[in-house]
Amino acid sequence: MRALRGTKQLTLAGLLSTVRSKAALFWTLAFPIFLLVIFAFIFGGGDGDRVSYLLPGLWTITVISASFFGLSMVMVQERENGTFRRYRVTPVSPVAVVASFAIVQLLTLTASLLLQSLVAKLAFGITSQGSVLLVVLMLFLGCLAFVPLGLIVGSVARDMKIAPVLTNLIFFPMMFLSGAAVPFFFLPKAVQAVARLLPATYLVESVQGVMVRGEGLAQLQAPVIVMLVTAAVGLALNGLLFRWESSQSIPRRNIALAVGGILAIYVVAALVAPELRMAIQPK
């Protein structure tokens, strides 16, 4: 397929750049372990069951921080410094560029999550009440939902001054409201009502559901729907919002469509939202 020509080499180049960059290695490998250790000792007291309870939130933080602060920032940098402009005068398509960013992000994120899980298993002896395969599947769905969402910021943010601001504006509410950093049952009811619209909430809810409450796929319909819709909207918006140069303005119609797409995620979440089981404090 012509639109995908170059994707393989772009992906390889992205992986090589990641492996050769100390900063990228730190955020991919060291930071997730650091996060795990902090969580495990400060909030979990090093206890396996409590770490197993905390881990879904921790994984979620890993997924959304990588999605919003990882390659989406590289995307802004490469647009700002003119690397994208150089690509633009070749026949390579935006689809190939965005796809390669998404694939590299998915692969590095997989490495982060695997390493985090391995250390959690070996050091703290985490256990899952439900199917491990289902945990992996839900995490994969989460990556599929959040990686494209993060890359949207990479297209929308004009430069590296505005990019971290936008990212933080999205990242912190998701982290604190989704139940990832703060147990969901601690949140006031009104805040919970808002949090139920955020896709991150469903990643925590689903993974915790399987790990802690031993739920099966039948009980996870709502999270699966919300995350699939998020992934689909995210992918579509990347197509609408991509630009080679910051000086190119995004057509108004596409901005309107993007806002509509994000709202659609909230509407779907509102429509399918069940009573979140993580809102009940475990005994």
Partner 1 sequence: MLISVQGLVKRYGELEALRGIDLELEAGGIVGILGPNGAGKTTLVETLEGLRSPTSGRVTVLGRDPASDAPALRERIGVQLQATHLPSDLTTYETLRLFRSFYEAGLQPDEVLSLVDLESKSKARVGTLSGGQKQRLAVGLALVSDPELVLLDEPTTGLDPAARRELHAVVVALRERGRSVLLTTHYIEEAEALCDRVIVMRAGEIVADGSPFELLRRSRGQSTVWIEVAGELDPVPLFQSGAKPEGRQGGHYRFVTSDPAAFVVALGRVLQDQGLELLDLRLKRPTLEDVYLELVGEEPAGDSVAPAGGMS
Binding site for partner 1 (CB under 8 A): 5-6, 8-10, 12-13, 16-17, 20-21, 78, 81-83, 85-93
Q: Minimal distance in Å, beta carbon 75 to partner 1?
A: 12
Q: Closest distance between partner 1 and the C-beta of residue 100, in Å?
A: 10
Closer CB to partner 1, 8 or 161, in the complex: 8
CA distance linking residue 126 with residue 14, whole number of Å: 33
CB of 218 to partner 1, least distance (A): 45
d(CA 194, CA 8): 40
Please, which residue, 24 or 66, has the CB nearer to partner 1? Answer: 24
Q: How far is the CB of 99 from partner 1 (least distance, A)?
A: 13
Structure letter (DSSP) for residue 40: I
Reduced to 3 states (helix: H, G, I; strand: E, B; else coil), residue 138 is helix
Task: Give yes or no for a contact between 4 and 99, defined as CB atoms under 8 angstroms apart.
Answer: yes
Q: Least CB distance from residue 217 to partner 1, whole Å? A: 40
Smallest separation, CB 36 to partner 1 (Å): 27
Residue 50 or 88: the one with the smaller Cβ distance to partner 1 is 88
Q: How many CA atoms lie within 13 A of 199 on its CB side?
A: 33
Within the chain, residue ranges assigned H as helices are 7-20, 22-25, 31-38, 48-69, 71-81, 83-88, 94-124, 132-156, 163-177, 189-195, 199-213, 221-241, 252-272
Tell me which residue has tokens 């797409």: 261
Residue with tokens 């689809």: 95
Nearer to partner 1, 53 or 84 (CB): 84
Give the nearer residue to partner 1 in terms of CB position, either 83 or 110.
83
**Residue placing its CB nearer to partner 1 in the complex, 12 or 267:** 12
- Give min distance, CB of 16 to partner 1, in A: 6
The residue (of 139 and 157) whose beta carbon lies closer to partner 1 is 157
Phi-psi region of 214 (alpha: psi -120 to 50; beta: other; left: phi over 0): left
Q: How far apart are CA 106 and CA 111, in angstroms?
A: 9
